[in-house]
Amino acid sequence: MQLRSTSRGTRESTHTEVDVVAIGTREATWGADPLEFEGGFRSLEYDPKASFRSSLPTDGAARWNVTSAKTFDSTHSVNSSLSIGYSNVDWDFLKSIYGWAAVQYQAWARGELIVGGNETQAVILHTDAILEFWVNNTHYFGGDFYSYRNAPPVLHLDPGRHRIDLRLARDVRAFGGILEPTIDVVVGVEKVSGSLDLAKPGILMSDVIDGYLATPQGSISLRNSGTRDIEITGIHPANVSTNFSTVFPLLRLSTGDQMLVARDAEGIMSAESMHDTADKSNVRIAAGQTRSVAFNITLSPKNASSIAYNVTYEIVGTGKTSSLEVTQTLNHVSTYHPHKITYLHPGGTVSYAMLRPPAKNATCKHKQNKLPVLLALHGAGLEADDPMVTEALDPVSDLCAWVVFATGVTPWSGDDWHNWGFADVEAAIDAIPSWISSSRWLGPGVDTNRWIVSGHSNGGQGTWYTTTHRPDKVLAAIPVSGYSSIQKYVPYELWQPADPRRTSVISAALNSYRHEMLMDNIRGIPIQVQHGEIDDNVPAYHSRLLALQLQFAGTNASYNEVPNQNHWWDDIMTTPELIEFYHKQVSNMEKLPRELEEFDIVVGDPGDMGSKGGVKVTQLEDPGNYGRVHVRGRTVKTSNVLSIEFGPPFWKDTVVIDGQTLDFTAATNKERLSVHLSRNVWIVQDTTTLEESHGRHGRQLGSMTAILRTHGPVTIHHPDSANASHLALQVSRNLQQYFRANSMLLAGNAKTRSDSTTGNVIRLAIGAAASSTTADFPIKVSSSGVSIRDYRGREQSYSEARGAAWLQPLDSERLELVLWGADDEGLGQAARLIPMLTGVGQPDFVVLSEKAKWKGLDGVLALGFFDSEWQVTPSSFVS
Ligand SMILES: *[C@@H]1O[C@H](CO)[C@@H](O)[C@H](O)[C@H]1NC(C)=O
Ligand SMILES: *[C@@H]1O[C@H](CO)[C@@H](O)[C@H](O)[C@H]1NC(C)=O
Ligand SMILES: *[C@@H]1O[C@H](CO)[C@@H](O)[C@H](O)[C@H]1NC(C)=O
Ligand SMILES: *[C@@H]1O[C@H](CO)[C@@H](O)[C@H](O)[C@H]1NC(C)=O
Ligand SMILES: *[C@@H]1O[C@H](CO)[C@@H](O)[C@H](O)[C@H]1NC(C)=O
Ligand SMILES: *[C@@H]1O[C@H](CO)[C@@H](O)[C@H](O)[C@H]1NC(C)=O
Ligand SMILES: *[C@@H]1O[C@H](CO)[C@@H](O)[C@H](O)[C@H]1NC(C)=O
Ligand SMILES: *[C@@H]1O[C@H](CO)[C@@H](O)[C@H](O)[C@H]1NC(C)=O
Ligand SMILES: *[C@@H]1O[C@H](CO)[C@@H](O)[C@H](O)[C@H]1NC(C)=O
Ligand SMILES: *[C@@H]1O[C@H](CO)[C@@H](O)[C@H](O)[C@H]1NC(C)=O
């Protein structure tokens, strides 16, 4: 494949060379590239006679092949799309044995980027559906697996030929299971200004309802495509008097100041003064970095059709200032229609949801002042403002509920509605009261602790997640065509073989998302499950299985299987059964939390688990195993649970835990009572004691994905070297790409600056330079490798360790994720482990050997979990 990036616009006939090798579901993060055993694809030259061992094709041999890419080019961009298929693999036979796992495979492709002219070009490189690639000898991991195009890398290419090697990994969930087993990817090259650019057109802002902005929070997504850092100095309303006849995107590369201007509106734009919320010290955008900048918008006049803002900035170290103009067409809608509201995600970035307030003519039978929230969670690949999402509940326009079509920040809901995505759902719900108080709303109020949850596909899975993790808030649930867990969706067969003790750790890291194991948590909640009988995307098996598990858990789920229907059809969310259920549940007057005589709580990760029946597990003894609480009346029995909080209104007086009677009357804090297992004896504890102790608690709990529970942007610390800076930038881009999460890059030992922030920290370290934040931490690194103290107190040393990643505590419930490398290359290996895709299963700590590059998980030297004292758990693999 050749990507011609010149302004001449010539179209080139193209080719590429590939091979085929097996890979498992979400395995690529661990390495598992057999060609690495032979020095890596980058070290190979095209040779039609060469063959490579592979478990998939005829003869067990993969070979080079030549394929044409389709290339489309214009003055400013080139797209090259590549479709790869194999005739020497019997996919159908493999599928009959291994199922969808068989049609997940990996391949490498090579092409060239050719830059004409005689000037260095600043370009961005889009890598749709690609996780890993090399440009010449520079490695990029993270790519753009879901084709978001949020944060592409910036390349400054000299005239000439640049080799580009693409690692292609087929993923059934991302590519579709029923389709031909081809890999279809797009590489896009786009010319950029070489200075500050808009990374997304326009302004992320709310709709205008009856002449007023629904919410004030706005955000502009910016990319520094230059070679020096940029400091944003202000965002001010701009006066634009030009008439634009062109529709967006109009890209103008002005010759003078090299500023790329994007405009998306016609007519005269105006806006009143605003407040620059951008904390100055935060808004530095490193060369090559993408981040969003938040600010408050005020609207004037009421009938404006668009607004314009002027972002002023300084190029650090040059004293040069410049500005970038951003405009946004305003969307005027009625208060009662689904409309965009904005709010701050706890990660510090502005996000949005679509809100449908209760209809004007809604006749709520009972005299409720506060109506419940009806959550509608979208499927994978959809934006919440897509009419397919917002119009799905039109047939029930008069429901007595506040309908929230949540986004989860991205079309894949961040991490499938888990840590990052679910925090967004909760932030959206919490935005309703401020919407009510700032709008001129006179209708019914909202009870933000009373949810009816619904969703389709990945949103159906999100519905299961919400119901199993927030049982005390869920009034009723409607999971439609949802999958039960990623492992059940596309089996983890065909990973490189690995010691079961290692795979069990990966599996345990996903405990909180294995809904089929968590059905006990749903007991007492009305559930209407629905699935199309002939769904060939998410098989009806998932819903049938969960309905059965619910029966085992003592819950009567109503299961509606719709004959002859596939994954999606018109009115799927408003079948007669669902309509009846919505109406019944919006007027369900049950008190929450429910007081159940007997129930169980199953906990995979206390960090993302709410209460049930007022009982909240706050710590597990070994977070590598499920914890369980059985409650019958006032008698509580626990397994693998270390601390529990008992909340009002049911828990006062006395409780018998594991045969021991505890007196709650004497406790100082009557609101929440915390009990803790200390040397096999349960003791009542002041909840504040736990929070003040150095023990692992709250947002620190969970596996590596806990780093996503940051409050505020993530700080990325890195050594002051070219390679470490490249990796830090890559980490920053990955956070932006997959979660639209902002981060700050800090080189060298600028420790004080990150200590004054509220967010989590990712620290890159090489050689002996990594030190833990607490003395006596079980993981130590030195120039001779990594050593780990296991749960028996035994030190294991790994001199062959190349890279490692582990969580360690910071104050205020924060976390630091250390990425350590024996050298630059080892650090690159460790940096792959940053959470991006769900289902990878990174636990709390991982130590990698060189062999992981080709053997994947089995090349991991040690991995596992930390307990509440930050000590290695028995469930860990350390040997
Ligand atoms: C390349 O793809 C992007 C995204 O689909 C599109 O916006 C752009 O116009 C395409 N460019 C060309 C030259 O086809
Ligand atoms: C080589 O590539 C072509 C084009 O993609 C494909 O049709 C063919 O099956 C491939 N050959 C083998 C042996 O897989
Ligand atoms: C660069 O190319 C342009 C036209 O393509 C030519 O006019 C100019 O002289 C060249 N400059 C150099 C330094 O070669
Ligand atoms: C890639 O290598 C070629 C040939 O050595 C060189 O001309 C080109 O500048 C390199 N590109 C990059 C991005 O390093
Ligand atoms: C944007 O701000 C710059 C610097 O203050 C100013 O020179 C420029 O005129 C402004 N542009 C608009 C359209 O307001
Ligand atoms: C924009 O227009 C307003 C009112 O018309 C005026 O007060 C303000 O000074 C103008 N701002 C700029 C940057 O021209
Ligand atoms: C922006 O608006 C929000 C919500 O009204 C408010 O809490 C915040 O203080 C405002 N920020 C600034 C800098 O005015
Ligand atoms: C806004 O309203 C004013 C006064 O009612 C009117 O003169 C103006 O044309 C309107 N502008 C737009 C863009 O509709
Ligand atoms: C409320 O109005 C909507 C549309 O305006 C209509 O579809 C619905 O039937 C009405 N409901 C009631 C209870 O009148
Ligand atoms: C569950 O279903 C059984 C059998 O249909 C019925 O007897 C029972 O009352 C139901 N329980 C609940 C809580 O709805």
The tens digit of pLDDT for each residue in 683-719 reads 998 766 665 666 899 999 999 999 999 999 999 999 9
**Which ligand has the shortest distance to the CA of 128?**
1
Instruction: For 757-779, give one letter per residue: b (16+ CB within 10 A) or e.
Output: bebbbbbbbbbeebebbeeebbb
- How much is the pLDDT for 766? 94
Block residue for tokens 């080719």: 15
> Ligand 7: does its nearest atom lie under 6 Å from the Cβ of 277?
yes
> Ligand 1: does its nearest atom lie under 6 Å from the Cβ of 239?
no
Name the average pLDDT for the chain: 89
Q: pLDDT exceeding 90 applies to what percent of the chain?
A: 78
Residue 278 clears pLDDT 60, i.e. is over it: no
Closest-CA residue, ligand 8 atom 5, reads 303
Q: Quickly list DSSP for 69-89.
A: -EEEE-SSEEEEEEEE--SSS
Confidence of residue 302 (pLDDT cuts 50, 70, 90): confident
Query: pLDDT, tens digit, for every residue of 125-182?
Result: 999 999 999 999 999 999 999 999 999 999 999 999 999 999 999 998 888 667 788 8
Query: pLDDT, tens digit, for every residue of 179-212?
Result: 788 898 999 999 999 999 999 999 999 999 988 9
Average pLDDT on 557-582 reads 97
* Cα 257 to ligand 5 centre (Å): 13
- How much is the pLDDT for 770? 66
* Cα 118 to ligand 3 centre (Å): 6
- How much is the pLDDT for 301? 79
Best of 124, 125, 135, 161 for a ligand 4 pocket test (most atoms within 8 Å of beta carbon): 161
Closest CA to 802 of 739, 836, 849: 849
Query: pLDDT, tens digit, for every residue of 541-554?
Result: 999 999 999 999 99
Closest CA to 691 of 706, 680, 681, 676: 676
- Give the chain's length: 879
Residue 784 clears pLDDT 90, i.e. is over it: no
C-alpha–C-alpha distance, residues 352 and 425, integer Å: 10
Strand order in the sheet with 154-157: 70-73, 77-84, 183-191, 121-128, 154-157
Task: Give the nearest ligand 9 atom to 359 CA.
Answer: 1
Residue 241 clears pLDDT 70, i.e. is over it: no
3-state SS assignment for residue 332: strand
C-alpha–C-alpha distance, residues 844 and 703, integer Å: 5
The alpha carbon of 687 is separated from its chain's Cα centroid by a whole number of angstroms, namely 31
Average pLDDT on 344-349 reads 96
Closest-CA residue, ligand 1 atom 10, reads 79
Query: pLDDT, tens digit, for every residue of 91-136?
Result: 999 999 999 999 999 999 999 998 888 999 999 999 999 999 999 9
Closest-CA residue, ligand 9 atom 8, reads 398
> Ligand 1: does its nearest atom lie under 6 Å from the Cβ of 188?
yes
Query: pLDDT, tens digit, for every residue of 34-75?
Result: 999 999 999 999 999 999 999 999 999 999 988 888 888 888
Average pLDDT on 738-750 reads 90
Strand order in the sheet with 654-657: 598-603, 627-632, 635-639, 654-657, 660-663
Confidence of residue 651 (pLDDT cuts 50, 70, 90): confident
φ, ψ of residue 181 to 5 degrees: the values are -75, 60
Q: How far is CA 325 from CA 215, 221, 264, 516, in A?
A: 22, 12, 11, 50
Query: pLDDT, tens digit, for every residue of 858-873?
Result: 999 999 999 999 999 9
C-alpha–C-alpha distance, residues 375 and 712, integer Å: 25
Residue 488 clears pLDDT 90, i.e. is over it: yes
- How much is the pLDDT for 280? 42
**Which ligand has the shortest distance to the CA of 118?**
3
Number of neighbouring beta carbons within 10 Å of residue 593: 22
- Confirm if 708 and 413 have CB atoms less than 8 A apart: no
Average pLDDT on 722-731 reads 97
C-alpha–C-alpha distance, residues 375 and 480, integer Å: 13
**Which ligand has the shortest distance to the CA of 120?**
4
* Cα 80 to ligand 1 centre (Å): 10
Average pLDDT on 303-313 reads 93
* Cα 138 to ligand 1 centre (Å): 25
Closest-CA residue, ligand 3 atom 9, reads 118
Q: What letter does residue 625 receive in the DSSP assignment?
A: S
Q: What letter does residue 659 receive in the DSSP assignment?
A: T
* Cα 303 to ligand 8 centre (Å): 6
> Ligand 5: does its nearest atom lie under 6 Å from the Cβ of 350?
no
* Cα 275 to ligand 6 centre (Å): 16
- How much is the pLDDT for 692? 61
| More confident of the two residues 67 and 422 | 422
Closest-CA residue, ligand 3 atom 12, reads 118
CB-based pocket (< 6 A), ligand 9? 359, 361, 363, 397-398
3-state SS assignment for residue 538: coil
Closest-CA residue, ligand 1 atom 7, reads 77
* Cα 299 to ligand 8 centre (Å): 14
Confidence of residue 267 (pLDDT cuts 50, 70, 90): very low
Query: pLDDT, tens digit, for every residue of 348-360?
Result: 999 999 999 999 8
**Which ligand has the shortest distance to the CA of 119?**
3
C-alpha–C-alpha distance, residues 481 and 531, integer Å: 5
φ, ψ of residue 508 to 5 degrees: the values are -65, -30
- How much is the pLDDT for 350? 98
In sequence order, the 6+-apart residues with CB closer than 8 A to the CB of 367 are none
> Ligand 8: does its nearest atom lie under 6 Å from the Cβ of 300?
no
Closest-CA residue, ligand 4 atom 13, reads 157
Q: How far is CA 382 from CA 190, 243, 391, 437, 458, in A?
A: 24, 33, 13, 30, 10
C-alpha–C-alpha distance, residues 32 and 24, integer Å: 9
Confidence of residue 258 (pLDDT cuts 50, 70, 90): very low
Residue type, 447: D
C-alpha–C-alpha distance, residues 145 and 403, integer Å: 31
Closest-CA residue, ligand 2 atom 10, reads 86
The first and second tokens of residue 679, run together, are 């040397």
C-alpha–C-alpha distance, residues 117 and 533, integer Å: 58
The first and second tokens of residue 458, run together, are 């990945």
> Ligand 2: does its nearest atom lie under 6 Å from the Cβ of 277?
no
Closest CA to 156 of 142, 141, 136, 127: 136
Confidence of residue 384 (pLDDT cuts 50, 70, 90): very high
* Cα 219 to ligand 8 centre (Å): 26
Range of lowest pLDDT (375-389, 573-587, 776-790): 776-790
* Cα 198 to ligand 1 centre (Å): 16
> Ligand 1: does its nearest atom lie under 6 Å from the Cβ of 77?
yes
C-alpha–C-alpha distance, residues 236 and 85, integer Å: 51
- How much is the pLDDT for 14? 45
Average pLDDT on 485-511 reads 96
Residue 730 clears pLDDT 50, i.e. is over it: yes
φ, ψ of residue 511 to 5 degrees: the values are -50, -40
Confidence of residue 324 (pLDDT cuts 50, 70, 90): very high
Task: Give the nearest ligand 3 atom to 118 CA.
Answer: 1
Q: pLDDT exceeding 70 applies to what percent of the chain?
A: 89
